[in-house]
Amino acid sequence: MKLLRLSVSGFRNLPREVLDVDAPLIAFVGDNGQGKTNWLEAVGVLGTLRSFRSPRAAELLAWGGARAEVEGVVQAEGMVRTLSWSFGEGARTLRRDDRPVDAVTWLSSFRATYFVPGDIAPVRGEPALRRALLDRAVLAIRPGYLALARDFKRVVDHKSALLRSGRASDDELDVYDAQLAPLGAAVTSTRAEVVAAMGAAFERAYTAFAGTETATVTYEPWLGEGDEPTLAARYAERLARGRAGERQMGRVLAGPQRDDVAFAVGGRSARAFASQGQARSVVLAWKLAELEAARAVGEAPLFLLDDLGSELDPGRTARLVGLLGSLGVQIFLTTTDARYVPRDTVAGEARLLRVVAGVARPDA
């Protein structure tokens, strides 16, 4: 999976421009505030359909602008396609080869994963952050999971709205619970399969960064273990038993929205004991495991890394690039110091683009 050409219009502070990015590693180099992270964000929008900096697409528009567009020529599964993401008048449009597509179809063609400042928060933060980290990995490996996750959230939201109204009848709640049980079981089962597929790769990647130190990852599903029919039956029983509590609280209390992921370093809880460096290595190892698991079932997504100099020392940078190169992953990164960028990768020569006031030009 590779991005060959990137063009933007009306996006943040970037000028209308087309970049040739057909290289194994693309580095956006420049001083702070010049727009190098905006270029990385544009790649991220193509690869994830969301910004890693803001939940609101309207914030991606140039100041005073009404419409933004990011277009990429991508190579995946032996085909070259043109993908166009645009946002204007409060609506997003996705087109592949000039034909409208949905998000699942898009992400089946092109995906990315990323490590940015603040990404270590899931290691020591609340379970919701770890669930989001897990779901992004599941989506990178199984794009069809997006439809399942959306269906589950839709039913949870609708049932919660009914509970908050105070007018929910048992018959109405029974209808929602009949939908939630199989959907929640499918979410749990899919998450469990992905964590199992990533486990050994996560342990190897962590040791590659940390030397003799070891780390493990464990999925902690609220529904417990079992096949999907068993999980669905268990969920249905727990929903019925907890109905009085849900009525009192006015929201859905039971289900995979209460799952967690446990990381351990050296046999101790990373949430309680991990240092800053250990937490960073945990997340990077998770991302590498995600890429390896994705490659095992298809093509690995792109990897995006923001603010290289502040996140990794030169030694760990070189190890990271080597590991990514061995997976055949195209890398996009930002840095204030070109000395941090490995000029040669496993797949060929890196390309440096100097960014000044949003304009990106080849760095001499």
Spell out the domains of the chain, with CATH numbers in brackets.
1-111+301-364 (3.40.50.300), 127-289 (1.20.1050.90)
Please give the share of the chain, as a percent, with pLDDT higher than 70: 96
178 has a pLDDT exceeding 60 = yes
pLDDT digits (tens, 9 = 90+) for 51-80: 888 888 888 888 888 899 999 999 988 899
347 has a pLDDT exceeding 60 = no
More confident residue, 218 or 65: 218
Nearest to 159 by CA among 142, 141, 172: 172
pLDDT of 348 reads 67
Round to whole Å and give the CA distance between 140 and 146.
Answer: 10
Q: Averaged over 339-361, what is the pLDDT?
A: 80
279 token code pair:
């937490």
> What residues have CB less than 8 Å from 325, skipping those under 6 apart?
24, 345, 346, 347
Q: Please, which pLDDT band fits residue 345 given cuts at 50, 70 and 90? A: low
311 has a pLDDT exceeding 90 = no
Return the SS3 of 6.
Answer: strand
Return the SS3 of 28.
Answer: strand
Q: Averaged over 109-127, what is the pLDDT?
A: 88
Residue 284: count other Cβ atoms within 10 Å of its Cβ: 25
Round to whole Å and give the CA distance between 229 and 186.
Answer: 9
155 has a pLDDT exceeding 90 = yes
Round to whole Å and give the CA distance between 88 and 51.
Answer: 15
Round to whole Å and give the CA distance between 285 and 323.
Answer: 10
Round to whole Å and give the CA distance between 16 and 328.
Answer: 30
94 has a pLDDT exceeding 70 = yes
271 token code pair:
């949430």
Q: Beta partners for 262? A: 218
List the alpha helices (DSSP H) in 91-227: 103-109, 121-124, 127-141, 145-165, 170-210
185 token code pair:
């079981």
Q: Please, which pLDDT band fits residue 310 given cuts at 50, 70 and 90? A: low
Return the SS3 of 360.
Answer: strand
Nearest to 22 by CA among 332, 335, 284: 332
pLDDT of 309 reads 64
pLDDT of 346 reads 54
pLDDT of 58 reads 83
Q: Beta partners for 362? A: 353
Please give the share of the chain, as a percent, with pLDDT higher than 90: 63
Residue 2, CB-side half-sphere exposure with 13 Å CA sphere? 18
Residue 122: what residue type? P
Residue 81: count other Cβ atoms within 10 Å of its Cβ: 14
Round to whole Å and give the CA distance between 324 and 118.
Answer: 21
DSSP state of 312: -
User: What does the longest C-alpha to C-alpha distance in the chain come to?
Assistant: 70
Element (H, E) at 264: strand 260-265
